[in-house]
Structure 1
Amino acid sequence: MFDLVLARLPELVIVIYALSILLYFIDFVDHNRKANIFAFRLLLIVWALQTIFLFMYMLNTGRFPVLTLFEGLYFYTWVLITISLVLHHIYKVDFTVFFTNLIGFCFMAIHAFAPIQRSSVTAEQLMSELLLIHITMAILSYGAFSVSFVFSSLYLLQFKFLKEKRWKKKLWRLADLAKLEKASLVFNMLGFPMLLLSLILGLRWALIRLPVFHWYDPKIIGSFFLLMIYGLLLYAFVKRVLFGRKLALWNIGAFLFVLINFFLISRLSMFHFWFS
């Protein structure tokens, strides 16, 4: 019974999710408030179904579902939807929810049509609370960087509208440049310490549990390089070396490395096998 739910519920969720994204797109193009309201209600349904599925999965497996790429993608999508719903009430920027969930939908589609992965016996034996916290915090940091990327993208869009003096309705529905830049910085400030703590916990776990630990593992190098990139971005902003459009462009580039680190470098790792 659970296997049937496991197979069918994500398909139902992605259909509702697609309708929500479509309605948000209609609102984006035509400033349709009814479409916006209905899209938000559908997004709430998606979040509720995903949350139910998450708890069902945890009850069935007896652990937090982050040990495989299949599980990690689902949790990452849930994090993005949750953040977007919170942003809807905090930042009154209409397009933030749309663009954040556009990213979430892409990852949900990858998750929905990917083969179901069960964690191997070896992964179960290696599992510990330290490992689960390490992976969970890493995914949460990726979620924060994703939202920061959205705000930087909106910054460039707003900058383009202002430079071309295109006084459209979209211009007024986007926040001012200072607010978008600050929001992007806030989420980087949230993601950076979470990634740092995740790496510290991950290294601690590896030193305790792994018989042979390689410091030159591609995943370790890639993760610390990612941490350095975001650390330099924060430092450059504080020292006003980077700001405005240049900062937004560098932040978008940093997020592209997040994707490379998550999908490509993880597969080259010698011990991050549960994410391959």
Structure 2
Amino acid sequence: MVGLHILYILIIVFYCLSVLGYFIDFIQNNQKVNRIAFWLLSIVWVLQLTFLLLRALEFSRLPIMTIFEGMFFYSWILVTFSLVINRLHRMDFLVFVVNLVGFTILTVSLFAPAGDVSSELADLFILEMLIIHVVILLLSYGTFTLSFAFSMLYFYQHRMLKKKRWGDKMVRAGNLSLLEKRSYLCTLVGFPLMLIGLILGVSWAWVKFEAVPWHDVKVFSSFIVLTVYGFYLFQYKVKKKRGYNLALLNIAAFLVLLINYFLSSSFSQFHIW
């Protein structure tokens, strides 16, 4: 039973990394990242199959009889479809969406009645899922902070160039194009991390409290943060916007993030961080 527990956590971690890779590949059309995401997803497929086989041996039956097993098997089917689609066709958006759904189902399955799992083990699963939720969100905050730093350097250099001031410190900071690209790449990583973190948080809240506290200030503001950064990515990738105004948008997005992190935490009855 403990082995299955560890295996499940590994599946969640590798699946999270794979979804992140497919999102980056979809936006950037990066073949290297696509290959890494494919092999990570392949590992997820193997681990899921191993989990199903071990559970079948442990309970001497086909592991699709409980709600948990049905959802887990459903997720495994989606992973299988994704691997086939990825090898036969270049449909990056479809693969990303299918895996996002699969990851959500896999996460929700953790809280479904398992039938043969003890309450102590179920509680341990729930606790560790909460920990993963917090860690992933903090990682997204870290990448958004790096993105903000690059945008601030862009803002500073842009102002100095308009005033026709130049110095060695500006050279060391990098040119405007490089700063803009690095800011975008950091946001590109932070966005799916935050999305995955919120999916985990919503799933955890549902099983813990039998409802999602949408009225909670921090929950509501977290989705506002996600929307603002999504709008930034939309402006950069779809609208092809570049320059000073885009940097200001990213700086504003980070200010919304700070409000979410500090102020909403103070007024939230659901979060303590």
When normalised by structure 2's length, the TM-score is: 0.52
Q: Which residue does the alignment assign to 1:180?
A: 179
Q: Which residue does the alignment assign to 1:239?
A: 238
Which amino acid in 1 is paired with 2:270? Answer: F
Q: How far apart, CA to CA, are the structure 2 residues paired with 1:127 and 1:267?
A: 25
Which amino acid in 1 is paired with 2:225? Answer: L
Q: Which residue does the alignment assign to 1:44?
A: none
Q: How far apart, CA to CA, are the structure 1 residues paired with 2:124 and 2:217?
A: 23
Which amino acid in 1 is paired with 2:246? Answer: L
Q: Which residue does the alignment assign to 1:154?
A: 153
Which amino acid in 1 is paired with 2:187? Answer: N
Structure of larger gyration radius: 2
Which amino acid in 1 is paired with 2:136? Answer: M
Say if 2:224 is the partner of 1:225: yes
Q: How far apart, CA to CA, are the structure 1 residues paired with 2:167 and 2:268?
A: 48
Say if 2:156 is the partner of 1:142: no
The 5 Å alignment of 1:108-119 reads none
Q: How far apart, CA to CA, are the structure 2 residues paired with 1:213 and 1:198?
A: 14
TM-fit CA distance, 1:170: 1.8
Q: RMSD of the TM alignment (CA)?
A: 2.0
Q: Is the Cα contact below 8 Å between 1:126 and 1:209 reproduced in 2?
A: no
Structure 1: unaligned runs, 5 residues or longer:
1-123
Relative to 1, partners in 2 of residues 1:154 and 1:127: Cα closer, same or farther, differing over 3 Å?
same
> Could you give the per-residue CA deviations for residues 219-272 of structure 1, whole angstroms, max 9, x where no partner exists?
111000100000010001112353210011111111111111001112222321
> Could you give the per-residue CA deviations for residues 194-214 of structure 1, whole angstroms, max 9, x where no partner exists?
000000000000001114542
When normalised by structure 1's length, the TM-score is: 0.52
Count of residues paired in the alignment: 151
Q: How far apart, CA to CA, are the structure 2 residues paired with 1:265 and 1:242?
A: 31
> Could you give the per-residue CA deviations for residues 2-56 of structure 1, whole angstroms, max 9, x where no partner exists?
xxxxxxxxxxxxxxxxxxxxxxxxxxxxxxxxxxxxxxxxxxxxxxxxxxxxxxx
Q: Which residue does the alignment assign to 2:18?
A: none
Q: Is the Cα contact below 8 Å between 2:202 and 2:212 reproduced in 1?
A: no
Q: How far apart, CA to CA, are the structure 1 residues paired with 2:238 and 2:230?
A: 12
Moved more, 154-163 or 237-246: 237-246
The 5 Å alignment of 1:193-204 reads 193-204=192-203
The 5 Å alignment of 1:1-276 reads 128-240=127-239, 242-272=241-271, 274-275=272-273
Q: Is the Cα contact below 8 Å between 1:148 and 1:188 reproduced in 2?
A: yes
Q: Is the Cα contact below 8 Å between 2:229 and 2:253 reproduced in 1?
A: yes
Q: How far apart, CA to CA, are the structure 1 residues paired with 2:211 and 2:239?
A: 43
Q: How far apart, CA to CA, are the structure 1 residues paired with 2:207 and 2:158?
A: 49
Q: Is the Cα contact below 8 Å between 2:126 and 2:204 reproduced in 1?
A: no
Moved more, 142-151 or 212-221: 212-221
Which amino acid in 2 is paired with 1:229? Answer: V
Runs of 4+ in 1 over 4 A off after TM superposition: 124-127
Q: How far apart, CA to CA, are the structure 2 residues paired with 1:219 and 1:182?
A: 30
Structure 2: unaligned runs, 5 residues or longer:
1-122
Q: Is the Cα contact below 8 Å between 1:159 and 1:177 reproduced in 2?
A: yes
Which amino acid in 1 is paired with 2:224? Answer: F
Q: Is the Cα contact below 8 Å between 1:195 and 1:227 reproduced in 2?
A: yes
Q: Is the Cα contact below 8 Å between 1:196 and 1:227 reproduced in 2?
A: yes
Q: Which residue does the alignment assign to 2:41?
A: none
